[in-house]
Amino acid sequence: MAKYFKLSLKEDDFFKEHMKDLQKGEIYSYDELVSMGEDDFAPKKMLIQKKLKDYLLPQKNGCVDLSKIQEDWFPHINDYDIFISHSHANEKLAIAFSTYLKEYYGLSCFIDSLIWGNVFELQKIIDKDYGYSEKDKNGNILTYSYEKRNFTTSHVHLMLNTALMQSMQAAKLFFFLETPESINFKNIKDEWTYSPWIYSELSMSKSMYEIEKTPKMQNFCECVSRPTKIPLIQKAQTSHLIPITKSKIDDICNKKTGENALSSLKNYVSPSSQSYSKTLRVLYENGKKSIR
């Protein structure tokens, strides 16, 4: 069963004074962690950029094979230990966290946003060929079709949402980076987000969590978003996430790497959960006494 965390994280957590007790001798700054992570993802990103236009060439019965895009953009999803959900505005923070987990604990992370940024370019390429309503004599687009544009957008977004679900399902751990950019409003009971992608991902993780809790059922998904001023918000499903901090991760994974670090994180029980379980036991015992 996967474990689902809500991580409170900020750049300050990667200041060297907070990293001094890690088991490795080399201490990296926040900027160094970001740079190292970007370098790791660069070859994949460059390959996708080169292939973008090729995706739109008709391949099967004169049709564009969108499934090929999904296969190329999200390969080897089982190779990752951790899925990181985050706001697009926190991309560098997510990269730093990913590199930190890799360098100090030998854990691999899936960050879709380094691919997801190409979605907007892909959408433009598709709409240039299939979403226009009228062109001038030189082939320049004068107007787009509202109906066609909705159709192409649905295809692209649902394709990638499916791929994200599969990637999340394959991961052993799920970390949602809780920041002012990802959770925009809070009250006593609920948390709210502008991002439809964060809403989707948290909702799918909640469904996965509920199904994994149910015996004899199969597991049945960063999301990210660009900043928006459109006043539409969604209730963020975060009640199933275990609150955690970077310093707590360091305590849990102390002197452990790879499968040992992963196992320690999966076995972590938050103090609030322990307190709740203790309360239930007390109520149960008191109930038995009253029956007697």
pLDDT surpasses 90 at 36: yes
pLDDT surpasses 80 at 166: yes
Domain coordinates in residue numbering, the chain: 3-291
* pLDDT, tens digit (0-9, with 9 covering 90-100), for 77-125: 667 899 999 998 999 999 999 999 999 899 999 887 776 666 777 788 8
When mean pLDDT is compared over 21-35, 90-104, 132-146, 204-218, the highest value belongs to 90-104
The residue among 56 and 23 whose pLDDT is bigger is 56
191 to each of 34, 165, 199, 205, 209, how far by Cα in Å? 28, 22, 10, 16, 18
Q: Degrees (nearest 5) of the Cα angle 234, 211, 105?
A: 85
pLDDT surpasses 60 at 40: yes
* pLDDT, tens digit (0-9, with 9 covering 90-100), for 50-65: 777 677 666 656 677 7
